[in-house]
C-alpha cells in the first residue's frame, strides 16, 4: 500500500498480510495443543494440507525459513510456535535475517559484547 511506510527488508504485517497468512497462522495457533504438535511432526504434509496452506506457505515451512513464512503472511507471534517445533532459537532467526550462518551470527554478537 502506498500510504504505508516502506522499511527496506521488512514485511509489514497489515490487514492484507493477515488475510494472506490466515491458513498458516491458524495452523501455528493450533500448536498450542501438544496433540497437534505431535500430529504435525508425524506427517507435516498432511497437517499442512488440513489447514489449506498454499504453495508459498508450505514451501516456507518445508525450508524452515521464518523470513519466507513472514513474507507468506505469517505473524511472528504465531510463527514462534512453529519455530519451537523446529528447535529454532532467536540466534537461528537472527542468522536468517542477516543472511549469515548461525556461527557467523553468534560471532557477530560476541564481537559486540
Q: What is the pLDDT of residues 18-27, one digit of tens each?
A: 899 999 999 9
Low-confidence ranges of the chain (pLDDT < 50): 1
What is the rounded CA–CA span in Å between residue 85 and residue 91?
Answer: 15
**Per-residue model confidence (pLDDT) at position 97:** 81
For residue 80, the model assigns a pLDDT of 86
d(CA 9, CA 109): 20
Give the domain 13-87 fold.
Protocatechuate 4,5-dioxygenase; Chain A (1.10.700)
Please report the pLDDT score of residue 4 as a whole number.
67
Whether this model's pTM surpasses 0.75? yes
Say how many residues make up the chain. Answer: 113
What residue spans define the domains of the chain? Answer: 13-87
Distance of alpha carbon 66 from alpha carbon 95, whole angstroms: 11
Amino acid at each position: 500500500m502506498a500510504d504505508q511506510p516502506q522499511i527496506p527488508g521488512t514485511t509489514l504485517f497489515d490487514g492484507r498480510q493477515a488475510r494472506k497468512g490466515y491458513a498458516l497462522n491458524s495452523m501455528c495457533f493450533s500448536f498450542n495443543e501438544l496433540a497437534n504438535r505431535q500430529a504435525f511432526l508425524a506427517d507435516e504434509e498432511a497437517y499442512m494440507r488440513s489447514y489449506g496452506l498454499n504453495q508459498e506457505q508450505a514451501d516456507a515451512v518445508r525450508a524452515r525459513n521464518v523470513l519466507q513464512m513472514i513474507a507468506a503472511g505469517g505473524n511472528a507471534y504465531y510463527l514462534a510456535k512453529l519455530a519451537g517445533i523446529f528447535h529454532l532459537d532467536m540466534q537461528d532467526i537472527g542468522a536468517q535475517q542477516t543472511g549469515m550462518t548461525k556461527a557467523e551470527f553468534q560471532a557477530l554478537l560476541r564481537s559486540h559484547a
